[in-house]
């Protein structure tokens, strides 16, 4: 029987990705994430995290949204609708950007791929897929462009880690590369055939490692998943869940919507003012460019020991609460606690030196914390 929500409306069941059966066969544990039933782990969070740093991990990210924008005015439309200079992105490349509310708050962070001169693919976060599609549709009036949510037609699989390129090159059924894999640069894409079906492969990811994201028609998703696992077995590839993905992206200093990003935050507060080109005007959310000198800013914090601050824990200077952690964990790679937090600017040192008088309240115990530049972890090459 459906469980009622607080408003008396039955709660919706989380959606399954096309790979649900594959995850069950591999013994995955599941969680509801953004309205989707997603694998949180297969064996252990730590093992999956370390596999991605040392070899490779395979992630189901089919909960993400895929929205096609095309037409002669598609570039001009996206310049208006989004924060970035999308019309300047060359065919074959991708750009990290944001869709903003009128007041400058972040509706979602996105990756936009330019497929053709008049064709763009917008990748949205799972929980925001419908709102992004709706916002784009609402903003397209007056432009020679169309917006089509194609999310239900595709699965998205991420192959991440130092051995990802070799694994993809050895995957059975992957042929006819538009570019040799080494020539697909970071934030660029190429195409392959898999079982006769065209696939888009992008050198993007959310782990801080080298790797690819593969867009595959739903009907071929399970076949591709199995082929990648088979090719990767000799190279240390393991399936990896949301828990490992979260600690990997935290080490890499990558924001998560609902934690570091929200409608209450403008890009500059999150250290992402660069997504808006200098001097850009005439776009939805232009208010984000207004100065907000007293607004909390996102910082990195590190601590000693094993007790890590978590989302919602307070950051203090003396007895005064000056901020709040948005994401935190004991870093599997670095071996000490790390966190991202929004903190009042006046509580931070002005000379760039590490603040030694900040503490994190970890269940009633104040843990000294040091301001640390993001990212916490950066791969060697």
Q: What is the CATH number of the domain that holds 117?
A: 3.30.1360.120
How confident is the model at residue 214, as a pLDDT? Answer: 98
Q: Is the pLDDT of residue 7 over 50?
A: no
- Work out the average pLDDT over 63-74: 98
23 and 139, same domain (yes or no): yes
User: 322: left (phi > 0), else alpha (psi -120 to 50), else beta?
Assistant: alpha
DSSP structure class, residue 114 = E
154 and 298, same domain (yes or no): no
Tell me the average pLDDT of the chain. Answer: 94
The count of domains in the chain is 2
Which residue's entry shows tokens 């080494």? 182
- The per-residue pLDDT for range 176-232, each reduced to its tens digit, is 778 889 999 999 999 999 988 889 999 999 999 999 999 999 999 999 999 999 999
Segments forming the whole domain that contains residue 338 = 293-372
245 and 317, same domain (yes or no): no
How confident is the model at residue 353, as a pLDDT? Answer: 53
pLDDT > 70: percent of the chain: 95
159 and 303, same domain (yes or no): no
Question: Does residue 279 belong to any structural domain of this protein?
Answer: no
Q: Is the pLDDT of residue 10 over 50?
A: no
**CA nearest to 204, candidates 269, 252, 266, 172:** 252
Question: Does residue 67 belong to any structural domain of this protein?
Answer: yes
How confident is the model at residue 2, as a pLDDT? Answer: 35
- The per-residue pLDDT for range 128-155, each reduced to its tens digit, is 999 999 999 999 999 999 999 999 999 9
190 and 299, same domain (yes or no): no
133 and 205, same domain (yes or no): yes
Of 232, 255, 278, the last residue of a domain is 255
Neighbouring CB atoms inside 10 A of 335's CB total: 8
Rounded to whole angstroms, what are the CA distances from 364 to 229, 301, 360, 370? Answer: 44, 18, 9, 19
Question: Does residue 265 belong to any structural domain of this protein?
Answer: no
187 and 316, same domain (yes or no): no
- The per-residue pLDDT for range 220-256, each reduced to its tens digit, is 999 999 999 999 999 999 999 999 999 999 999 999 9
Question: Does residue 35 belong to any structural domain of this protein?
Answer: yes
Question: Does residue 378 belong to any structural domain of this protein?
Answer: no
Is the CB of residue 198 less than 8 Å from the CB of residue 187?
no
Backbone phi, psi, residue 79, to 5°: -60, -35
134 and 247, same domain (yes or no): yes
165 and 314, same domain (yes or no): no
Beta pairing partners, 297? 343
241 and 352, same domain (yes or no): no
60 and 194, same domain (yes or no): yes
Question: Does residue 381 belong to any structural domain of this protein?
Answer: no
Give CA angle at 261 (374, 272), nearest 5°: 50
Q: What is the CATH number of the domain that holds 325?
A: 2.40.30.110
Q: In this structure, what token pair is assigned to residue 295?
A: 């607004």
Neighbouring CB atoms inside 10 A of 308's CB total: 19
Question: Does residue 368 belong to any structural domain of this protein?
Answer: yes
pLDDT > 90: percent of the chain: 90
Question: Does residue 168 belong to any structural domain of this protein?
Answer: yes
Is the CB of residue 348 less than 8 Å from the CB of residue 304?
no
- Work out the average pLDDT over 282-288: 97
DSSP for 286-318 reads: GGGGS--TTS-EEEEEE-SSS----TT-EEEET
169 and 26, same domain (yes or no): yes
pTM of the model: 0.94
How confident is the model at residue 8, as a pLDDT? Answer: 45
């Amino acid at each position: 029987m459906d469980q009622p929500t607080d408003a008396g409306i039955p709660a919706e069941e989380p959606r399954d990705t096309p790979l649900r059966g594959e995850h069950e066969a591999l013994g995955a544990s599941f969680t509801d994430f953004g309205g989707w039933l997603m694998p949180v782990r297969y064996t252990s969070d730590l093992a999956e995290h370390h596999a991605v740093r040392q070899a490779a991990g395979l992630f189901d990210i089919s909960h993400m949204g895929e929205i096609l924008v095309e037409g002669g005015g598609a570039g001009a439309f996206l310049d208006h609708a989004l924060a970035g200079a999308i019309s300047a992105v060359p065919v074959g490349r991708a750009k990290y950007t944001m869709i903003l509310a009128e007041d400058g708050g972040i509706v979602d962070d996105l990756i936009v791929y330019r497929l053709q001169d008049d064709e763009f693919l917008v990748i949205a976060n799972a929980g925001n897929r419908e709102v992004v599609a709706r916002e784009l549709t609402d903003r397209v009036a007056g432009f020679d462009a169309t917006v089509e949510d194609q999310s239900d037609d595709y699965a998205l699989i991420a192959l991440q880690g130092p051995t990802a390129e070799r694994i993809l090159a050895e995957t059975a059924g992957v042929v006819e590369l538009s570019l040799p894999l080494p020539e697909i640069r970071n934030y660029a894409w190429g195409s392959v055939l898999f079982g006769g079906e065209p696939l888009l492969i992008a050198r993007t990811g959310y782990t801080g490692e080298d790797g690819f994201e593969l867009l595959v028609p739903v009907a071929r998703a399970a076949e591709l998943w199995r082929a990648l696992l088979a090719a990767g077995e000799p190279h240390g590839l393991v399936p990896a869940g949301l828990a490992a993905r979260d600690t990997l992206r935290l080490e890499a200093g990558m924001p998560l919507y609902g934690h570091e990003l929200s409608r209450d935050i403008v890009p500059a507060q999150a250290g992402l003012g660069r997504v808006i080109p200098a001097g850009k005007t005439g776009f939805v959310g232009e208010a984000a460019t207004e100065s907000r000198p007293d607004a909390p800013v996102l910082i990195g914090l590190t601590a000693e020991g094993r007790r890590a601050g978590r989302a919602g824990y307070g950051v203090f200077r003396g007895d005064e609460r000056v901020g709040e952690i948005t994401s935190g964990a004991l870093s599997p790679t670095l071996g000490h606690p790390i966190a991202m937090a929004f903190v009042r600017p006046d509580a931070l040192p002005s000379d760039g030196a590490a603040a030694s008088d900040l503490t994190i309240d970890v269940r009633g115990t104040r843990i000294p914390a040091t301001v640390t530049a993001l990212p916490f972890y950066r791969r060697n090459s």
